[in-house]
């Protein structure tokens, strides 16, 4: 079992949902243990963390399957998080009510959608701000100051495009670095800086347009130049920030950058991002059950646009975050025939289990759902037949004969 951070959650009672109300050797309990085992066998030597449980239509038993499958996995010593992603009829959340959690919808729409304007770095860390701007695909200028240093970050659709460090020491400025490395002369630097003051263009673009440097010459020094700025701003623990929206038209040739900021950012960030604000909000949304190792993220308020939320980068970010903290995530999604929500979640999961209630759904409709899952490139682990009447003539005789013979009790 993975080592998880100590988290404080509100405890709620789930006992009435789980199979611990049934004898351990009952067929009901054994069915879920068998399902758990078959899922593990489906992955063989591969590890899996995210499992999506869905159905063709309503009332097929997917929610009870999620609850009991999660229970069996938690009993095996795994830390398990149930996610109620059925934001149309969230039965799991209704069975376990809580007014304290914003739920999945609250995280995706309100927490991850907070409008970054201005404030203190005591509330939002630098990584929080960068992640929020990315999740909202914001375009503009983020101004940061810790009193001593001032840094500006430019974003286009949430991606860092450029960095300006007004308080950068003179010896670390780009022109000084290029002169030190004998890439340009002092006279050439003065000429380029003069043109920069007149045009407002980036120094790198001016040097290239003047024929003094080519892009390859500039890539190395400019990368180091930007890395120094990123390292400086990521060390801000105190200070203030403000964000100003800019039109996309502002991001033209003036934002010439022969460097990949995303790659530079990954180089600078050592270990995991310190998402103090976002982590606190995610923690507050998760409910601890009275079953050891078992947790729940309820659906939250029903949104008008569940498909848009579930298929967003925000959902992808949340799943990635939760996978770092729990051994297994089991997602309860909407049925596939009424809505496409489950299909949008497929890319976030390692496997899918389709629940079919015996005698309820037309066989052709079930085949249609299976085909939809295959087209979405889902790893369909199998179909779990629910509410089978094993007392029916024929099935019961086969069941009794087969298992009695297997266990050596044929009569």
- Among 252, 155, 149, 248, which Cα is nearest to 199's? 252
Q: Which two tokens stand for residue 249?
A: 């038209």
- Among 234, 228, 185, 236, which Cα is nearest to 210's? 185
Please give the CATH superfamily to which domain 11-103+277-406 belongs. P-loop containing nucleotide triphosphate hydrolases (3.40.50.300)
Nearest-angstrom CA–CA distance, 133 and 156: 10
Dihedral sign computed on CA atoms, order 125, 129, 130, 131: positive
CB 112 within 8 A of CB 72: no
Q: What is the pLDDT of residues 272-329, one digit of tens each?
A: 788 999 999 999 999 988 889 999 999 999 999 899 999 999 999 999 999 999 999 9
Q: What is the pLDDT of residues 171-185, one digit of tens each?
A: 999 999 899 989 999
Write down the pLDDT at residue 69: 87
Write down the pLDDT at residue 125: 94
Under-70 pLDDT residues of the chain: 1-46, 95, 252-258, 359-361, 386-411
Write down the pLDDT at residue 154: 93
Task: Phi first, then psi: give them for residue 322, nearest 5 degrees.
Answer: -70, -30
Q: Where in the chain is the domain with CATH 3.40.50.300?
A: 11-103+277-406
Question: CA 342 → CA 35, 52, 332, 349, 351, distances in Å?
Answer: 20, 8, 9, 10, 12
Write down the pLDDT at residue 22: 52
Write down the pLDDT at residue 14: 47
CB 63 within 8 A of CB 92: yes
DSSP assigned state of 111: I
Cβ neighbours of residue 130 under 8 Å, at least 6 residues apart? 153, 160
| 14-50 exposure pattern, b = at least 16 Cβ within 10 A, e = fewer | beebbbeeeeeeeeebebbbebbeebeebeeeeebbb
């Amino acid at each position: 079992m993975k080592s998880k951070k100590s988290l404080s959650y509100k405890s709620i009672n789930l006992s009435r949902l789980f199979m611990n109300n049934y004898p351990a050797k009952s067929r009901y309990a054994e069915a879920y243990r068998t399902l758990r085992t078959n899922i593990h066998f489906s992955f063989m030597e591969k590890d899996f963390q995210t499992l999506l449980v869905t159905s063709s239509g309503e009332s097929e038993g997917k929610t009870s399957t999620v609850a009991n499958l999660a229970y069996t996995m938690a009993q095996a010593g795994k830390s398990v998080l149930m996610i109620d992603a059925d934001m149309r009829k969230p039965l799991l959340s209704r069975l376990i009510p809580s007014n304290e959690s914003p739920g999945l919808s609250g995280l995706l729409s309100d927490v991850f959608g907070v409008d970054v304007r201005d404030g203190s770095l005591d509330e939002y860390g630098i990584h929080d701000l960068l992640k929020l701007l990315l999740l909202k695909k914001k375009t503009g200028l983020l101004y940061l100051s810790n009193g001593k240093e001032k840094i500006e970050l430019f974003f286009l659709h949430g991606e860092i495009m450029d960095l300006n460090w007004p308080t950068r020491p003179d010896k670390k400025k780009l022109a000084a670095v290029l002169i030190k490395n004998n890439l340009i002369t002092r006279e050439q630097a003065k000429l380029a800086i003069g043109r920069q003051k007149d045009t407002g263009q980036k120094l790198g673009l001016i040097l290239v347009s003047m024929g003094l440097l080519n892009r390859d010459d500039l890539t190395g020094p400019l990368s180091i130049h930007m890395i120094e700025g990123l390292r400086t701003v990521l060390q801000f623990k105190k200070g203030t920030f403000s964000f100003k929206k800019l039109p996309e038209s502002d991001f033209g040739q003036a934002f010439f950058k022969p460097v990949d900021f995303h790659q530079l950012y990954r180089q600078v960030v050592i270990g995991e991002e310190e998402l103090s604000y976002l982590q606190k909000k995610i923690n507050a949304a998760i409910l601890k059950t009275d079953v050891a190792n078992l947790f729940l993220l309820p659906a939250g308020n029903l949104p008008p646009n569940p498909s848009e939320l579930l298929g967003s980068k925000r959902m992808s970010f949340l799943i990635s975050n939760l996978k770092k903290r729990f051994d297994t995530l089991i997602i309860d999604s909407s049925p596939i025939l009424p809505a496409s929500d489950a299909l949008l979640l497929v890319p976030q999961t390692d496997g899918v289990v389709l629940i079919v209630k015996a005698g309820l759904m037309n066989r052709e409709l079930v085949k249609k759902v299976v085909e939809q899952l295959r087209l979405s490139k889902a790893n369909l682990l199998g179909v779990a037949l629910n509410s089978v009447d094993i007392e029916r003539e024929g099935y019961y005789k086969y069941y009794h004969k087969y298992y009695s013979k297997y266990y050596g009790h044929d009569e």
